[in-house]
Each structure stands twice: as C-alpha cells, then as structure tokens.
Amino acid sequence: MRKKHGEYLRDKRNRRKEELVKLKGGKCQRCGYSKSLSALGFHHKKGKVKKFNISGKNLSHKTWKELVEESEKCELLCSNCHAEVHDEEGWIHEDGKQTPKMIRTI
C-alpha cells in the first residue's frame, strides 16, 4: 500500500533533520544534550545571512544542497540553550527588525 503524500513528506523531513543533526555532531553544541531529535534545532549564528529556517516544510521542499549550505551558517542547539541564546541576543526577524534582549533571573 502506498503512503499518503503527507506521510511521505513527514518521513522525508524527519530523515533530513536526522542527517543534518548528524552532520553537526549529533548533540547540542553548547551543553551536549542529545536525547530527543525534536528538542534539537538550528540557530543561525550572528553575522550570517539567513535565507530560511531549517524546520517544517523547508526540510522537505528545499534541496539537500540548500539545506546543508544553510546548516553551515548555524549551530545545533537544544531547546533550552536556543532560548537562552535568544534571551541574551534578542530575536532578529525576517524583515531585519530585532526584538530586544529578555534576560531576567528567576
């Protein structure tokens, strides 16, 4: 029985993310976390020109070459480290506007 198109795309996204994570060392580059693939993401380094996010439909719709090139501008971070980086640096949006830093202690 053939897979539905949506299942095919989901599987393709998962395979590609897994391969990109392996290329970046397979763990958070700050704390070493590696338990859950879904908790790892790609953070664009400051000063690098971001063409697109490495997530969602881009994982299934961009070419492998485009994904690898974009991942070279990123560091692999777990969800917690990624949030801390953006709290320290703020968020830069697609239109170039920046959300201010949000450091606060609990």
pTM of the model: 0.79
Q: pLDDT tens, position by position, for the chain (106 residues)?
A: 567 988 989 999 999 999 999 999 999 999 999 999 999 999 998 888 889 999 999 999 999 999 999 999 999 999 999 999 888 776 655 555 656 655 555 4
| Closest among 17, 71, 80, 69 to 44, alpha carbons compared | 71
Residue extents of the structural domains in the chain:
5-78
- Per residue in 2-20, pLDDT tens? 679 889 899 999 999 999 9
pLDDT, position 106: 46
pLDDT, position 93: 56
Distances (CA, A) of 57 to 44, 51, 61, 94, 106: 18, 14, 6, 17, 36
The β-bridge partners of 74 are 44
